[in-house]
Amino acid sequence: MGKTFAEKVLGKSAGESVSAGQVVIVEPHFCMSHDNAAPISKTFKKIGVSKVWKPDHLVFILDHAVPAPTDKHAENHMQIRAFVKEQGIKHFYDVTSKGGVCHQIMCEEGFALPGLVMVGSDSHTCTYGALGAFSTGIGRSEMAGAWATGQIWFRVPESLKINVTGKFKKGVSAKDLILKIIGDIKADGADYMSVEFHGPAIEAMSIAERMTLCNMGIEMGAKNAVCPPDKKVLDFIGPIAKTDAWEALWADDDAVYAQVLNYDLGDLEPCVAKPHTVDNYAPVSEVKGTQIHQAFLGSCTNARIEDLREAAAVLNGKEVAVRTIVIPASWSVYRQAMKEGLFDVFLDAGCVIGNPGCGPCMGNHEGILAPGETCISTANRNFKGRMGNKESNIFLASPMTVAASALKGEISDPREVL
Amino acid sequence: MKITGKVWKYGDDVNTDVIFPGKYTYTVSDPAEMGQYALEDLDQDFTKNAKPGDIIVGGKNWGCGSSREQAVTCIKMRGIGAIIAKGFARIYYRNALNEGLPIVVSAEAVDALEKGQEVTIDFDKSEIVTPKGTFSFPPYPDFVKGLIEDGGLIPHVKKSLGL
């Protein structure tokens, strides 16, 4: 009987052959924290250990509110800088032009690697599965414990296999696929499971598209989500890998799955997640004409250069009808977008371009909504109050749908503008 | 151990953003202060009127969404005795165990209970006593029992390191 991806990676890390349901204790290779490294450092101090287990295995990336919008945020960042100095942590991405959204940096900078067990004190840590890592989000106490001991327990998860075939039609993208899957199996459809994406359509996808899929694994309850570590992944990590401890591991053909789903990209159409849950799927045709007050193109889900190009293709030579906030996922994406002339397209269209970071995604700054307002967003969550005001509405959609909607000031079908 | 309290009842997929809004994640850092914001975007009645010892009853997938541990801390600091749900999202489940907040899975008890009723959780017998009957719940897996007995993850880690 073959093994799933999760069984192989956790088994390798635990040094034994393991199966779903078993509990293992493993050493995570990289531990990522963002602005919450400050409260975690306080919890760490309570344990009574003076030094973290391996300073080179900790990665800190400031992104949640950068540059600091309030004195409390500033103090939080200050505490992190002091801890970085005290512990000799070299992988620290401060508020500089080397940084960006934590999950983007983890992938761009060669931390996310095939076959590594990785944890992050952020639920979207599952993004690194796009590069073949077993990565998952944990809480603050657990991260403090991992810093002190270098160990974490996992129950080896059952796995959900999603086979994807076919080709996207015009105006449809990876975001539409993942919103459709979550709409089908719901917010708890993959609870506690490892989600594996298989099939020729996944192999045809770019790393950016795979990141969009894996990023939203948590929105169906998954422990982790992963794509095959194929040649595209190996070519991507080759020049940037931060360690040679990685290994391209993948599920056996005869692995046992709790569930198998099949999708054909040709069946998909542009869609949204309606307020206030990510599984509240609707094709754009159903909500077309809904008035919006803001459009947000950003976040760890959809702010890579490929996403900005898709949005720019829709906006090119036109003007937006509502305030439109563009926040590239990292400063290298920012620079690339500038080089390619995408900023001219956005600025000519009337968009506002923010500095890389999480921006308004979780209600910290740079685009908070007023009561009664509606935003269409490329981010990953539309929960009540998510963007700072519980009387506002958020629709989630692809970069193309967000751009098309920005042009009209109402939810619009990108196929009509492309 | 037995806990008795008044029920606050909610539906499925209650997410951590409505339990502890994101806008407070870096402006409210004192755990004691977090309690006053508990469930602010879900139920203002709870936020204003919940009393220590009350018990939260939720549907499936309680605590989905963000990994923010404050979504457990705020409920614990509010003095809530326990959460009974049809199921918990995985990060919330771990965070609750790590913070020493008792959580219990029982779909039958959730269906039997209504807001304002009194419920008793008997951890020694693994039973929930409701006005509509008594329901058993699965005991914690062995590997997390030690964690609970030590009072949460941090005391557990300290003990394992001999500190």
pLDDT in tens, A152-173: 999 999 999 999 999 999 999 9
Closest B-chain CA to A388:
B23
pLDDT of residue A152: 96
Q: In angstroms, rounded to a whole number, what is the distance separating the alpha carbons of residues A65 and A57?
A: 24
Q: In angstroms, rounded to a whole number, what is the distance separating the alpha carbons of residues A27 and B141?
A: 22
Closest A-chain CA to B152:
A141
Query: Which residue among B21, B61, B141 sits closest to A363, beta carbon to beta carbon?
Result: B21
Q: What average pLDDT does the segment A359-373 reach?
A: 96
pLDDT of residue A26: 97
CATH numbers and ranges of domains, chain A = 5-263 (3.30.499.10), 271-416 (3.30.499.10)
pLDDT of residue B145: 82
Give yes or no for residue B149 having a pLDDT over 90.
no
Interface of A with B in 211-230 (CB under 8 A): 218, 221, 223
DSSP per residue, A303-333: -SHHHHHHHHHHHTT---SSEEEE--SBHHH
Place A9 in a pLDDT band, splitting at 50, 70 and 90: very high
> Could you give the dihedral angle defined by the CA atoms of residues A394, A397, A399 and A400, in that order, rounded to the nearest 10 degrees?
-120
Residues in B closer than 8 angstroms to A46, CB to CB, are 154
pLDDT of residue B148: 83
Main-chain dihedrals φ then ψ at residue B4, nearest 5 degrees: -125, 135
Neighbouring-strand partners of residue A263: A164
pLDDT of residue A288: 98
CB contact (8 A) between residue A139 and residue B94: yes
Give yes or no for residue B143 having a pLDDT over 80.
no
pLDDT of residue B1: 85
Instruction: Report ipTM for this prediction.
Output: 0.95
Q: Which helix (H) or strand (E) holds B112?
A: helix B107-112
Interface of A with B in 231-270 (CB under 8 A): none
Render pLDDT for A68-116 as a digit per residue (tens, 0 to 9).
999 999 999 999 999 999 999 999 999 999 999 999 999 999 999 999 9
Q: 3-state DSSP call for residue A261?
A: strand
**Mean pLDDT across chain B:** 95
Place B151 in a pLDDT band, splitting at 50, 70 and 90: confident
Render pLDDT for B118-136 as a digit per residue (tens, 0 to 9).
999 999 999 999 999 999 9
pLDDT of residue A328: 98
Q: Which helix (H) or strand (E) holds A135?
A: strand A134-137
Looking at chain A, how many residues does it have?
A: 418
pLDDT of residue A362: 94
Instruction: Tell me, yes or no, if A65 comes closer than 8 A to chain B by beta carbon.
Output: yes
Q: 3-state DSSP call for residue A146?
A: helix
B161: left (phi over 0), alpha (psi -120 to 50) or beta: alpha
Specify whether the CB–CB gap between A349 and A269 falls below 8 A.
no
Q: 3-state DSSP call for residue A45?
A: helix
Q: What average pLDDT does the segment B134-152 reach?
A: 87
Render pLDDT for A137-153 as a digit per residue (tens, 0 to 9).
999 999 999 999 999 99
CB contact (8 A) between residue B18 and residue A384: yes
Place A340 in a pLDDT band, splitting at 50, 70 and 90: very high
CB contact (8 A) between residue B66 and residue A362: yes
Query: Which residue among A73, A137, A385 sits closest to B41, beta carbon to beta carbon?
Result: A385
Q: In angstroms, rounded to a whole number, what is the distance separating the alpha carbons of residues B2 and B124?
A: 8
Place B139 in a pLDDT band, splitting at 50, 70 and 90: confident
pLDDT of residue A15: 96
A-B CB pairs within 8 A amount to 138
pLDDT of residue B146: 84
Q: Using a CB cutoff of 8 Å and minimum separation of 24, what contacts does B100-108 make?
A: B100/B76, B100/B148, B100/B151, B100/B152, B101/B72, B101/B75, B101/B76, B102/B3, B104/B128, B104/B137, B105/B137, B105/B138, B106/B135, B106/B136, B106/B137, B107/B60, B108/B135
Q: What average pLDDT does the segment A362-379 reach?
A: 97
Question: Which of A188, A276, A393, A394 should be substituted to probe chain B, the one whose Cβ sees the most B Cβ atoms within 10 Å?
Answer: A188
Neighbouring-strand partners of residue A164: A263
Q: In angstroms, rounded to a whole number, what is the distance separating the alpha carbons of residues A228 and A216?
A: 17
Place A316 in a pLDDT band, splitting at 50, 70 and 90: very high
Nearest CA-CA distance, residue B11 and chain A, Å: 13
What CATH number is given for B2-160 in this structure? Answer: 3.20.19.10
CA angle A51, A125, B60 (to 5 degrees): 115
The C-alpha R_g of chain B, in whole angstroms, comes to 15
Give yes or no for residue B144 having a pLDDT over 90.
no
pLDDT of residue A277: 98
DSSP per residue, B121-149: EETTTTEEEETTEEEE-PPPPHHHHHHHH
Amino acid letter at A77?
A: H
Higher-pLDDT residue of A34 and B150 is: A34
Specify whether the CB–CB gap between B68 and B25 falls below 8 A.
yes
